[in-house]
């Protein structure tokens, strides 16, 4: 069975991520989208919320599973017998960062974890989770960036933050 992991912060998941998930899921029998639990960052959504959002957003794709991990990706991959990580590339700036992580993971895992890149569809090349958060924090329109239910959840977060 061909399996792969698509790791990320997904805070929040965007149409760019969903495009990569849809396309990558066609190449594998099982694609595990795994949310990084990064204790050093203060995310907009908790890991549990992100996992639930991803489950809802990918419910139509039967071979996609959603999970979470802490610590090094290579350890999570080894524990789950996963040998391919999928990542999306939007632009040359992504490439430098991604190349470094991919090389580090391959070296640290002694060749057990390799990375496959998919180039983001052009229509989503401008999208990032951080810009979605920034736009939403100023009340801007994010309807072209995330699914409607995610848009509502993001707006709710910022509404609650303002009321506090
Ligand atoms: O969506 P992101 O924030 O760009 O995803 C980055 C991610 C989660 C893929 C990367 O930061 C990661 O795998 N972090 C876990 C720690 C790790 O294994 N780092 C790699 C060695 S530098």
Burial of 164 (0-12, 13-18, 19+ CB in 10 A): exposed
The pLDDT score that the predictor gives to residue 91 is: 84
Residue 140: count of CB within 10 angstroms of its CB: 12
- Ligand 1 atom 1: the closest Cα is on which residue? 8
The pLDDT score that the predictor gives to residue 163 is: 77
Indicate if 131 belongs to the active site.
no
The pLDDT score that the predictor gives to residue 39 is: 83
pTM of the model: 0.96
The topology under which CATH files domain 3-125 is Rossmann fold (3.40.50)
Mutation test residue for ligand 1: of 18, 34, 36, 99, the one with most atoms within 8 Å of CB: 36
The pLDDT score that the predictor gives to residue 41 is: 82
Ranges of residues in the chain with a pLDDT under 70 are: none
Question: Would you give the DSSP letter of residue 91?
Answer: S
Per-residue exposure over 56-76, b if at least 16 CB sit within 10 Å of its own CB, e if not: ebbeebeebbbebbeeebbeb
Indicate if 25 belongs to the active site.
no
User: What is the distance in A from the centroid of ligand 1 to the CA of 106?
Assistant: 13
CA dist 67 and 90 (Å) reads: 24
Indicate if 129 belongs to the active site.
yes
* Tokens describing residue 10: 């997904």
The pLDDT score that the predictor gives to residue 19 is: 97
CA dist 123 and 15 (Å) reads: 10
Strands (E), 18-162: 30-36, 64-69, 84-89, 114-119
The pLDDT score that the predictor gives to residue 92 is: 83
Handedness of CA 42, 7, 22, 53 (dihedral sign): negative
Ligand 1 atom index nearest CA of 100: 22
Q: Residues lining ligand 1, CB < 6 A?
A: 7-9, 36, 72-73, 101, 104-105
The pLDDT score that the predictor gives to residue 12 is: 98
| Length, in residues, of the chain | 164
- Ligand 1 atom 8: the closest Cα is on which residue? 8
């Amino acid at each position: 069975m061909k399996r792969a992991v698509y790791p990320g912060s997904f805070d929040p998941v965007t149409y760019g991520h969903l495009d990569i998930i849809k396309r990558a899921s066609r190449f594998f029998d099982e694609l595990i989208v795994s949310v990084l639990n990064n204790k050093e960052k203060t995310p907009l959504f908790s890991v549990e919320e992100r996992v639930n959002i991803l489950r809802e957003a990918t419910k139509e794709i039967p071979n996609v599973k959603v999970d979470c991990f802490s610590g090094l990706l290579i350890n999570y991959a080894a524990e789950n017998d996963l040998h391919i990580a999928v990542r999306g590339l939007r632009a040359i700036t992504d490439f430098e960062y991604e190349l470094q992580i991919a090389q580090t993971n391959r070296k640290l895992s002694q060749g057990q974890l390799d990375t496959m890149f998919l180039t983001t569809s052009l229509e989503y090349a401008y999208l990032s989770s951080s810009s979605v958060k920034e736009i939403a924090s100023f009340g801007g329109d994010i309807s072209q960036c995330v699914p409607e239910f995610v848009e509502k959840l993001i707006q709710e977060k910022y509404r609650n933050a303002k009321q506090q």
